[in-house]
Amino acid sequence: MSESCCNTNTSNKASNQFDHKDAIQERYGSAAQEKESCLCTPVGFNPVLLEAIPQEVIERDYGCGDPTKYVQKNDIVLDLGSGSGKNAFICAQIVGKEGKVIGVDQNPDMLSLSRSASKEVTKNIGFNNTEFLEGSIEKLDELDKNLNPLIADKSVDIILSNCVLNLVSPESRNNLLNNIKRVLNDNGRIAISDIVSNKKVPLRLQNDHDLWTGCISGAWYEPEFISDFKELGFKNLKFVERSAEPWKVIEDIEFRTVTLVGNI
């Protein structure tokens, strides 16, 4: 991502505290229609696993790492903020016929893109083990008309996410974390690629819609990214990937890409 392609002017677009949902929906809805280079960092994926995936899905994937490398055969995978579906379709091939991949996303345009691509991927790989659900990743316990949660308790082997957790407002992070633990089985794992900061991001930067929706000012403070999961009871937590150089520097705050893994 080039420094000049995103608006980092913090003097405008401030709004009510952490009220970014409409801005996120608008920006990612547009990004589902046309590629926006500002929303992604260069990440290399296994080219063999990309061959079965439509090009528009690959182009409109906005991530900062490759958490799919930590998925295993026969896993039941939950992809939080599945977007265009690229990570989910890669996982579908890794887990095989006996595995399953569930993508959750709140953006209708992204869901339309991933769901429409599912038929082509199914044809290319020879089986269908992927579904995409509409919902907020911090509300996986939200009940449907039959009083069933979006994602059932202890139903998932591994949760992955690619540059999405930072979009969840701070006041909803406890719900997000508790839901992550709730849906994982007793041996459940996480593989989360995201943005972290070396200093806590001040409120005035968090209130900038451009910085927030650009996966910048919602970044987790790096020490807390591990400690928050540790407090939930996760073990063996470590950054298996961490960019040596900052992805961005804004007002002396360094923002880096990391991939966090661990297990219950």
- Please check the confidence at residue 2 and state whether its pLDDT lies above 50: no
Per-residue model confidence as pLDDT tens digits over 221-237: 999 999 999 999 999 99
**136 C-beta neighbours (distance < 10 Å), count:** 19
* Residue range 13-263, CATH number: 3.40.50.150
CA pair distance 197, 224, nearest whole angstrom: 10
Is residue 104 classed as helix, strand or coil in its secondary structure? strand
Matching residue, tokens 């063999």? 48
Per-residue model confidence as pLDDT tens digits over 193-224: 999 999 999 989 888 777 766 768 789 999 99
Report pLDDT for 206: 85
Q: In this predicted structure, which of 25-34, 100-109, 122-131, 148-157 has the lowest mean pLDDT? A: 25-34
CA pair distance 106, 124, nearest whole angstrom: 27
Contact 113, 57 (CB under 8 A): yes
pLDDT band at 62 (very low <50, low <70, confident <90, very high): confident
Report pLDDT for 99: 98
Q: In this predicted structure, which of 40-44, 72-76, 179-183 has the lowest mean pLDDT? A: 40-44
User: Exposed (0-12), middle (13-18) or buried (19+): which is 34, by Cβ within 10 Å?
Assistant: exposed
Report pLDDT for 16: 42
Contact 86, 115 (CB under 8 A): no
